[in-house]
Amino acid sequence: MATLAETVDQWWDGIKAYVLTGITNAASEGNNRVIKLDARCAFGYRNRANQRLRSLCATTRCSRREGDPD
């Protein structure tokens, strides 16, 4: 219980902000996860422009494999 209390105390500002606003950073965390996974699969990028283009491509909705609506 002591560890839980310490953790809640450390994160209280973020918890309070979520309760008051209902806003999280889940979308940006999800995009970061997809970008890092893409970088691992590509064994890195040759240059920053290529990294930007592949990251944009990987994080757009139409490029993700979500259920087929047809």
**CA 2 to CA 45: how far, in whole Å?**
45
How big is the chain by its Cα radius of gyration, in Å?
18
Report the pLDDT value the prediction gives residue 64, as an integer from 0 to 100: 59
pLDDT at 43: 76
pLDDT digits (tens, 9 = 90+) for 9-48: 999 998 999 999 999 888 899 989 988 888 888 777 778 8
Closest CA to 35 of 15, 49, 53: 53
